[in-house]
Structure 1
Amino acid sequence: MSTINMTKGSASARMTKSSSIRVRCWWDSRTDYDLYALVVYTDGRVKTVATFPAEGVPAQLATADGAVKHLGDVGRQAIGVAEEIIEIALDDSIRAVIPVAYSAQSNGNGSFFEYRVSMELDNGLGDRVVVTAENANDNSRIYTCVPGMLENTPDGVSVHALEHYSKPKSEDRPLVSLVRRGLMKKTEVVAIEMDAGPRNAYK
């Protein structure tokens, strides 16, 4: 078994592609975070897998093709660790999956560092990549974090530790797009713009 621990600024990690990759996000259960995913397809489409809606975006627990599935919402508990899981069956139509951790302002203040919000990717073959909370943002009024990104490449899976954060008090989702750059438009980049997407519905 190989486990790689990553923090913001770490070089990307490689993972063997498998038929099922599990994304697990966990935190101190005294608060109520939610995990959702933005799924980028090779044709430029972006779909959202989430247990709750946003403006104009209904809650969908799975993509239409069933490739990316959310295993369900968990709530607040008095003590312990809460976790939510997204399962990914990669195929050639998927370019990237971007997990997002979010807590509505109505849940109260508390930082990603305070509640130790962390993410793990596991390919079921013994490869694990963990983006830890050691260097997480400690601003208690920031409610959205993109811990990392999974990129589907011909050579396997690349995992990037991003730790992108929303502006304080923002309820807007990140906006993700597939951009082709360069003179011949052959360089393909997954662009993530924080606070540019639809606003999360009240939870």
Structure 2
Amino acid sequence: MKNLRSGENSPVDGHLIKVMTHCTINTGQASELDVSAFLLTAEGVVRSDSDFIFYNQPQAKGGGIKLVSEDNESQYFTVDLNVIPAEIQKIAFVMTIPVAFSSAFALSIKIENAMEFHPDRKNMQEKSLILAELYRHKGAWKFRALGQGFKGGLAPLATGYGVEIDDDDEAVSAVPVPPQKTTPIQLNKTTVDLKKAGEKVTISLVKGKNLVAKLKWDTKVDLDLYCFYVDGKGEEGKVYYRKLGHLDKAPYIKLLGDSQGAGEEIVEISQPKHIKYALIAAYSALSNGVGSFLSYKARVVVTDNDQQEVTSHLAHKDPYSYWVALALIDFTKAGELTIQNVETYSNKKTFARQFEERTGEKPASLFHKTTAKVQDINKYDPERSPHLFKDGTFMMSVGTREFK
């Protein structure tokens, strides 16, 4: 494998090649890593927006180049140089990430089994990078290593190459752009807000893509994210601060640390195909375990890697609950997932209602005895966690007792 330095070029052998990119960043930010390619004329611009290859348009007309994602951090392009139109003189390969490239742990682009380039990311504050380019030279193709940083995100970079972006942000041009008649391409994420319990949305799930769920809040309190799940075999489990989980083996869900303060906690699901249901809940670790989750502005943000984002909000104030269930995710239909706002608090009223729905009897109390049980529980305990059942339903206050 030949190693190239910035500015160096090398001839490309054959016409069927694989251009592979890799970048390792913080796991919780990997979903926002994007790789793109631009098919450029001799003037350095696209002929039309169809020459822009990215997550929402992964293949060029005619099939000359196609973007394939193995996972968040490793993506590649299959290229048939014989099919690339004669007007196209250059193909630029671009990467954008949500942080400065200086914070990346690894960064590379290579032509499989031929050559590779590792850009010098030290002190690189830019978040967009022109990694390399394929270009025609005397009837053949060559590969040039660049590693050129670009100020701004994907939208201004695309604008610089002549793509018309449907974006309100001011574009910063990298190259002169002549007037062109193009149809705007939408780069922004599709965002959905589920503001009330019962509201739900179904989004596509791209095979091989990870899913990230974030518990966010705005005040300086300690909330804990719990992800209760039912896996593909019907086994029940949970991921939380004492049992972080794994991404490379079962349960294919991992909690990325315990914040112990204002901000966010994140769970990542690396293999959604192995999960049937996931319930995202929050536990209050305040004194006495009480306080209004609504006043903390707690919410769950679920993001897939096809640039779709769903936020499940809270609408009711319940200052005396240790627990709130915020979002239920259903993975049972191939190629899609359904996210539902399930705002439910762990209080006596909720426990009594859910217990009676499941057993047909009232729960045990000083004035009522019953032999009916759910998870071997028939009496309300405010510190018990929710429990997610095999059929995707859940009940508050019948799980294990938690006290941080």
Percent of aligned positions with the same letter in both sequences? 25
How far the C-alpha of 1:106 sits from its partner, in A, is 2.5
- Structure 1 residues 24, 90: CA separation in 2 closer, same or farther (over 3 Å shift)? same
Distance in 1 (CA, whole Å) between partners of 2:395 and 2:320 is 19
Counterpart amino acid of residue 74 in structure 1: S
- 2:222 and 2:286 in contact (8 A); partners too: no
- Structure 1 residues 6, 91: CA separation in 2 closer, same or farther (over 3 Å shift)? closer
Greater share of residues in strand: 1
How far the C-alpha of 1:89 sits from its partner, in A, is 1.8
**Residue 150 in structure 1 maps to residue 329 in structure 2:** yes
How far the C-alpha of 1:28 sits from its partner, in A, is 2.6
* Partner residue, 2:386: 174
Aligned pairs (5 A) from 1:90-105: 90-104=271-285
- Structure 1 residues 30, 119: CA separation in 2 closer, same or farther (over 3 Å shift)? same
How far the C-alpha of 1:91 sits from its partner, in A, is 3.8
**Residue 65 in structure 1 maps to residue 250 in structure 2:** yes
* Partner residue, 1:186: none
The 3-state SS of whatever aligns with 1:190 is coil
TM-score normalised according to structure 1 size: 0.81
Aligned partner (choices 184, 195, 214) of residue 24 of structure 1: 214
* Partner residue, 1:45: 235
- Where structure 2 has 5 or more consecutive residues not aligned to the other structure, the ranges are 1-188, 349-380
Distance in 2 (CA, whole Å) between partners of 1:173 and 1:107 is 15
Counterpart amino acid of residue 222 in structure 2: D
Aligned pairs (5 A) from 1:114-153: 114-133=295-314, 135=315, 137-152=316-331, 153=333
* Partner residue, 2:195: 7
Distance in 2 (CA, whole Å) between partners of 1:148 and 1:39 is 12
- 1:31 and 1:107 in contact (8 A); partners too: no
String of CA shifts for 1:56-98, please: whole Å, max 9, x gaps: xxx210155251010000123xxxx410000012343310111
Distance in 2 (CA, whole Å) between partners of 1:102 and 1:11 is 22
Distance in 1 (CA, whole Å) between partners of 2:197 and 2:213 is 20
Distance in 1 (CA, whole Å) between partners of 2:264 and 2:335 is 30
Greater share of residues in helix: 2
Runs of 4+ in structure 1 off by over 3 angstroms are none
TM-score normalised according to structure 2 size: 0.42
Counterpart amino acid of residue 393 in structure 2: A
Two-structure CA RMSD over aligned residues (Å): 1.9
Larger Rg: 2
- Structure 1 residues 170, 105: CA separation in 2 closer, same or farther (over 3 Å shift)? farther
Counterpart amino acid of residue 196 in structure 1: V
- 1:97 and 1:150 in contact (8 A); partners too: yes
- 1:95 and 1:151 in contact (8 A); partners too: yes
- Structure 1 residues 128, 172: CA separation in 2 closer, same or farther (over 3 Å shift)? same
* Partner residue, 2:396: 194
Distance in 2 (CA, whole Å) between partners of 1:157 and 1:105 is 33
- Where structure 1 has 5 or more consecutive residues not aligned to the other structure, the ranges are 52-58, 179-188
Counterpart amino acid of residue 192 in structure 1: F
- 1:104 and 1:171 in contact (8 A); partners too: no
Counterpart amino acid of residue 124 in structure 1: N
- Structure 1 residues 165, 108: CA separation in 2 closer, same or farther (over 3 Å shift)? closer
* Partner residue, 1:54: none
